[in-house]
Structure 1
Amino acid sequence: MAIRYSVIIPTYNRAQQLLLTLASFETQTYPKQLFEVIVADDGSTDGTKEMVEGFKASYPLIYVSHQEQRGRSAVRNLGLRRAKGLYIIFCDADFVVLPEFIRIVSRYHRKYPKSVLSGIPHSWDDAFTHYYPDFSPEEKEQCRNILTQSNLWNADYEAANEITPIITPEDILHQTGALSKVVSPTRVPPNTQKQFATTDVAPWMLLVTRCVAIRRSHLIRIGGFNERFVLYGLEDWDLGYRLHRLKIPFYCIKEVVGYHQEHPTYLRGNVLNTENLRIMYETYGFNDSSLNLFALIPPSEDFETYKNTLRVLRRGFRSRLTRSSALLLRRTLRIAAKQFYDQSHTHAYKKSLHLIKKKAENRKSRVAHVLREMLVKSEKLVE
């Protein structure tokens, strides 16, 4: 039978977490002959290759690798080139999936066959599957609190010099219930989660590669991930943006389908990498306010304000009374993004902001209020 789903798991030095993720695919209720798992290794040096090749999978398991680290985009494309499925599921190496995961994705695809399906925001909860000696003090306290509540805390963890397993592959394979005991509710604020689930503006931001399913033909059509993105940040939203420009719809999966394995925060990298944002401006220009707004309101810092600003701008263009203020707001976002990108012509930039500020004086609409807020943020770009 033909492979329907190709699960691509990019990884770099995550052997212990990856082991649990591979074990979780053993528990899938979806027919194992209908999916494959492709581990795309970006030059790991921690024994990942030996672990994967020694893993006795009951599903097709493929290992591909770069000899040296080339970045998140390139390694995902490496996995994509080996994929055979009608659909691609990108799944992070630290994401333990629940038994119904692929079956749930398949059910959504029957309803939305040409859509991008995201596990975010309903599968954002963390699970303390390992204790890390380099957890921050706050992370150590959180881990201790979660494990103490489930009677799983061991004081020896704090004396450990190496990563210590709390959940084992056997716990996953035999579904002992241990995983549910180490789950910590996400620290992502409820309002942020709500905004991720709404698709009225910037729906492409649902594409978060922790857990997302995309038709393979769509990925091939747009050329996969942009390999100019080497460092962490924006490579997934860039892909989502290009799919959105093809008018491909986005939906979020409302069921919990897995848990993120908690690890030290520093391993995540810089959420908004400024060089990657410059690549986006270089690629797409400055005609889209949803991209220009990144320069003033990084969504990773204030997702709710980011989306609400786009809503205000859109409503502003719908009314003759507020259209001129909406035009000024759009212009402000455009010149701010250009200044962020180029960081020159500071005098001309300040002069443009001053002229817009004068025009915005005494205007009372909601659009004008947001315009003045964006002008204040724009001025800070050159302070």
Structure 2
Amino acid sequence: MVFFGSNYSYPIHQGVAAFAGEHGWHLGFRIQSPHDEGLDVEGWDALIIATAVRASLLRGLLGWKCPAINLSASPSEVKMPRVVGDNREIGRLAARHFLELGYWSFAYFSLGTRESESLRRAGFQDELGAAGQAAVYCCLGSQDGAAAACSWKNEKAWLSDSLKGLRKPVAVFCFNDLLAGHVLDAALDLGFMVPEEVAIVGTDNDPLFCERAAVPLSSVRHDLFHLGYHGAEVLDGLMTGRPVPEEPVLIKPDGLEIRRSSNHFATRNRALMSALRFIREHFRENIGVEDIVRATSLSLRGLQHAFQRELRRSIRQEINRLRFEYATSLLRDTELAVSDVAAQCGFQSLEYFCRSFKSRYGNTALAFRRAAKACLPPAASLVKSALPIPREVCPDPWVRRQVSSDLPVRRPGGLRVSSELAT
């Protein structure tokens, strides 16, 4: 498994390691510089390319005639099987999130025009276009050539100029969490309120970037664990003579983690804004429509009209929307009894919760939980965290799927697959 440059991905490595542990692979691992002219793969049974690499070096690697697969975000000039994140769907997911929040001004920020960046932009634009909207495209790489050579001073100036020119309130989708953090810093330096004036969503859901930001960052959960796991699965088929997909295998994102940077409905109606803030802060409690009316300056009739005009749903529907979203996350990520899930989501009647859940999702809560957990690879029972990590503290799915130290260890005698890391 080869990572070139500084692009090491812990969750991809973890997914490959989970599959390797199940199938008796000896997973080698080393660091490789992208500037090296060659790489000795003698004695390896297979090769996993996990980051972009020069075609000349790749041809040299494949000259050893061992099976190989590309897990990088960039296509290779050399034809080989590939497993990659569904970048269009990542963009669509971010757009749907912003549209649900009522935004009408959008921007996509990226540093270059690589395939993954372009596809995320395309998915974002496609989803917005279907709703009659469009996004401003802000790309540093389109100015004076490559973004990689740009200094932080120049990037900061670009971010500042770009943000100043956007119509507020604006919904900003960023190629990754690192760039989202830079956009956040620039917005705050300019005196913009986040998320009230600039809402931000990144990609990868890296807890170090998202949780520790000045305003915690919302992010699309790029399912890199399963990318690594299914990449190893395809490679196993290649080694054992099974048919291998000719087209890239796309791994869907694992949802979107909503944090404070985008947890805001875009509206100029201050009373509606107050109502939505009250609902978000109290939906897990036993609140009713009357409680929400008291939190605003409007009458019941006036608030109902505002909800229908701007959100196209009722006050009660908005309360239930948040409650059911929270319920699905509890069912997927905890082992709480269904009755406890209902209570924690603010439902006073278990019967009402169960009936409404089935009507909404077409399945019972228990069946939903089984289906959600079945989406994990077969190693799910062995892939666990040593200690339970609350979702609100550490929401990233691949952090919750740490490989347990009691995984069976299999030494040489099984297949030898190289897992090489580059500096």
Give the TM-score normalised by structure 2: 0.29
More helix by share: 1
Q: Which has the higher contact order (CA 8 A, sep 6+)?
A: 2
Give the TM-score normalised by structure 1: 0.31
